[in-house]
Amino acid sequence: MSTHPNQRDLINTLSEAKSQAILGRQNVSVNLNSTASNTPTSLNWQTASNNTLELKNIAADGKQSSLTTTTLAFNANGVVANITQDTLLSICNSRINKKKVIILTKLGTLVFKAEETC
């Protein structure tokens, strides 16, 4: 599956945050839709032009509900500390009407889903 540059940036930011949390034995946060400067414990990611980010909780039965957090926090074990369920992150590009979908598990693993239309 090909990845859009904005999706790739998000994947890299989430992966880097998890790695820094584990290697530094400290909490590391990813601030979504933020243009602030990165620090060793706070990484920032911003949607590109024509893109929107949507987050949803995924319950064990597969039902989805909106998630309003703008920060994902990895603890020293690489676990996403501030989510209680797996989280669906979707990036919709309104210019090409394509949506890239990633699932971030509570354990900090990324699962890639098939591309969809917005």
Residues 69-79: pLDDT tens digits? 999 999 999 99
Q: Is the domain covering 5-117 a CATH 3.40.50.300 domain?
A: no
What's 55-103 look like in SS3? EEEECCCCCEEECCCCEEEECCCCCECCCCCEEEEEEEECCCCEEEEEE
Residue 3 has pLDDT above 80, yes or no: no
pTM for this one?
A: 0.90
Tens-digit pLDDT profile for residues 33-52: 999 999 999 999 999 989 99
Q: Above pLDDT 70, what percent of the chain?
A: 97
- What value does the mean pLDDT of the chain take? 93
Q: How many CB atoms lie within 10 A of CB 5?
A: 9
pLDDT tens for 93-102 read 999 999 999 9
Residue 79: other Cβ atoms inside 10 A: 17
